[in-house]
Amino acid sequence: MSGATMSGGVLWQRWLDPATEYCFTKIEAGNAPEEGHELPAVPKFLDYAPDQDRVAPLAPEVAAAIEIASFVRYDASSDSYGVTPLDFAPRPNSLARGFPTLYSTGISPH
């Protein structure tokens, strides 16, 4: 919710600062979601988080979480069910575009 709110240009709401800190604390403690439907919210949050100095050290952990998450579908031509790399990195400047898991699947990082 924090990432979605910040991506819409909202930079202040009474609940946003505590929610942002909660998200950072959970991710820093190694508690990224393990399920593919929840996990795309993490890179989105990191893309829009106001404290980008805290973001960079978390990128490897989030990339590793994507690699082992359930319901992640790397083959876009497959009929199998799941979220795709573009759910994690929908824009060229998305943090997750630099994750090896995404560009090793044939999706260009640009």
CB 80 within 8 A of CB 45: no
Q: What is the pLDDT of residues 4-44, one digit of tens each?
A: 555 555 555 677 788 889 989 999 999 888 888 889 889 98
Domains of the chain by residue range: 2-103
Please determine, for residue 105, whether its predicted confidence score (pLDDT) is greater than 60.
no
Confidence of residue 99 (pLDDT cuts 50, 70, 90): confident
Q: What is the pLDDT of residues 56-79, one digit of tens each?
A: 999 999 999 988 888 888 877 788
CB 36 within 8 A of CB 74: no
Query: How many Å apart are CA 29 and CA 32, to the nearest integer?
Result: 8
Task: Kindly report the pTM of this predicted structure.
Answer: 0.77
